[in-house]
Chains A and B, each alone.
Chain A
Amino acid sequence: MTENALEGIDLGRGLVLPNAVGLASGTAGYGFELEQLIDIQRLGALYTKGTTMRPREGNPPPRIAETGGGMLNSIGLQNPGVDAVAAAYAPRWSGWAIRVIVNVAGGSVDEYVHCVSVLESVAEVAGIELNISCPNIAQGLDFGRDPALAARLVAAVRAVTERCVIVKLSPNVTDIAAVARAVEDAGADAVSAVNTYIGKKIHRASGRSVLPLGTGGLSGPAIQPLALAAVAAVCDAVHIPVIGVGGIIDAASARDFLIVGACAVQVGTATFINPETALQVLDGLRG
């Protein structure tokens, strides 16, 4: 087994991450909270909150529920919209060493294309992560479930950006490798895997779902073995770089993803419990 490089991770189209450890979308906002708590500039990448064409207020609460070794969320892509991100947030990333990769979500090909087009002229945006797999909005999941639809979306986005396009894959599919191959063929520069698993929790006193929409996305250490299997399958299926994400809580659980072939990792839910987790993972991997 070759030793994975931890520095200078080349994801394609000129996007080189300073190191292999990033903050996963939906767990780090746009960086402005965490930069007050930790030295985020030591990290390789910040994958922003899922950003949509128009502002979204998000889902009604409760939006989270704790489960064994994990949590369910149903945030509903609350975000200020791509115009606000480009105009108000991006200037604040100026001079940051950490690469800011904007996670883009939408309900139609046109919405994704619009967002990516708006971001194309924003210098502070280092790359695009296409969220084709948010389980908490009405139409977001279909792109991630169908290889042909996913490919059509990636091709449309590919046509309007010179930036590195990373496609974040849904684990809620029968054959994740097929979706990975389809987006690779359509022009994706890299893939990140996986987004959250669809899960459900019952409020035992009432017999109803805790989350108002019935289900949410499961994250946290409970999903690490599931995510690892999915990432291993993706690594076997494609030749583009693979970023591993799902249940990482420390350097050991991150290293598993590198061992199966990922070139970088994202730390997600663990940041909620300890904001320093990603830095500890980085230091631990460097040994």
Chain B
Amino acid sequence: MTADLSRAALETGEVLIVERLGGGLLELVARLPHLAATAMPGSFAQLRCSRSSTPLLRRPFSVAWTQDDNCGFVFEAVGAGTRLLSELQPGDPLDTLGPLGHGFSVVDSGSVVCVSGGLGCAPFPLLINELRRRGVEDILVLNGARTATRLYPAERFARPAVPVVAEATDDGTRGHHGPVTDLLHQAMASHPSALYACGPNAMLGAVMSTLLESGADLPPTLEASLEAPMGCGFGTCLGCALPVRAEDGTSAWRLCCTDGPVMPMRDVDWDGLRALPGADVA
């Protein structure tokens, strides 16, 4: 099936600010009227980091939030591309292609749990905004990170009314001392209609394992936003394959960029994903 790219467009926006949130987290805000008007929860945009040919490839980022003509992106300067983005100044042009990708199935009733690990916070403000627009108010965010300074600030998950955010840090500097998956058991007691997760692929696998081991009924909507090194972002290079389970139980590849990045967690081959070497494009 061919991906629907009808909303995607090249757009050169203008950087408004690159804000340092602490712990290395950065929030890039740019004026991008087309992207702001067309991004859906879970959509991503391909940002060009340089006008030269090194680094060559665009980098995919979730559209974290939109407000009027502006879009926010959350990231960390971990490689050549993201380092260049971190150095952008107000007024600099930002070359984007988007919105791209298959986003979240947004429910319109019941309670919702969002599980974020590290930079996995990125798609949730836009998702939560849309959930609220549809009348879903019972939203619990489980936000995990290595340490307190790397937790995306609770008030940024939604404005003006902040959802309930339960925090966990690996080193215990804020919230629960331990992985964010420790918070899942209690969260599932409310029998949420949807659970959405985003974070490193290993963390997403741990979320799925924890849910299965808990014996609780899985939420009807159970989706994760995954990541893979991407070449194009629009389904032609076939570079961003992720393992899924076909209906007959065998493993198959799906593209992160057009079949995902949001995929039903029941479909992902978590053992296969865990076995993959790490990503190399940052």
Query: B-contacting residues of A (Cβ < 8 Å)?
Result: 26-29, 32-34, 36-37, 49, 57-58, 60-66, 68-71, 73, 75, 78, 201, 203, 206, 208, 210, 212, 220-222, 249, 269, 271-276
Contacts and interface: CB of A to CB of B under 8 A. Distances in A.
Contacts of B48: 273
A19 to B, nearest CB: 21
B10 A275 contact: yes
B234 A275 contact: yes
Contacts of B235: 29, 33
Interface in B140-174: none
Nearest to A34: B236
B8 A37 contact: yes
Nearest to B278: A203
Contacts of A66: 55-57, 229, 280-281
Contacts of A63: 229, 238-241
B276 A272 contact: no
Given A33-B5, A273-B48, A73 B53 contact: no
Contact of A73 (B3, B6, B56, B231): B231
B240 A61 contact: yes
B2 interface: yes
Contact of B237 (A27, A68, A70): A27
A275 B5 CA distance: 12
A35 to B, nearest CB: 9
A75 B238 contact: yes
A249 B57 CA distance: 13
Contact of A27 (B3, B6, B236, B242): B236
Contact of B277 (A64, A78, A203): A203
A203 B57 contact: no
Contacts of A49: 238
Given A71-B57, A201-B280, A62 B236 contact: no
Contacts of A34: 234, 236
Interface of B: 2-6, 8-10, 48, 53-58, 97, 228-242, 252-253, 258, 276-281
A208 B277 contact: yes
A167 B102 CA distance: 37
B10 A273 contact: no
Contacts of A29: 235-236, 238
B215 to A, nearest CB: 32
A249 B53 contact: yes
Q: Is the interface of B mostly helix, strand, loop or mixed?
A: loop
Given A210-B277, A273-B48, 18 more contacts: A27-B232, A32-B2, A33-B234, A37-B234, A57-B253, A61-B239, A62-B228, A62-B279, A65-B280, A71-B231, A73-B231, A78-B241, A203-B280, A210-B280, A221-B56, A273-B57, A274-B10, A275-B97
A273 to B, nearest CB: 6
Contacts of B240: 61, 63-64
Contacts of A71: 56-57, 231
Question: Which of B57, B97, B238 is packed against the most chain A CB atoms within 10 Å?
Answer: B238
Which of B9, B54, B230, B232: most chain A Cβ within 10 A?
A: B232
B207 to A, nearest CB: 21
Contacts of B3: 33
B44 to A, nearest CB: 15
Contacts of B6: 36
A28 B236 contact: yes
A68 B279 CA distance: 17
A131 B237 CA distance: 17
A57 B3 CA distance: 18
B82 to A, nearest CB: 13
A73 B236 contact: no
29 contacts: A27-B236, A28-B236, A33-B258, A34-B236, A58-B241, A61-B228, A61-B241, A61-B242, A62-B228, A62-B276, A62-B277, A64-B231, A64-B237, A64-B239, A64-B240, A65-B229, A65-B280, A65-B281, A66-B229, A71-B56, A71-B57, A71-B231, A73-B239, A206-B277, A221-B56, A269-B231, A271-B232, A273-B48, A274-B10
A203 B282 CA distance: 13
A60 B276 contact: yes
A68 B54 contact: yes
A10 to B, nearest CB: 28
B276 A70 contact: no
A70 B56 contact: yes
Contacts of A33: 2-3, 5, 234-236, 258
B249 to A, nearest CB: 15
Residue among A32, A33, A70, A203 with max Cβ neighbours from chain B (10 Å): A33
Which of B4, B10, B258 has most A Cβ within 10 Å?
Answer: B10
B10 A69 contact: no
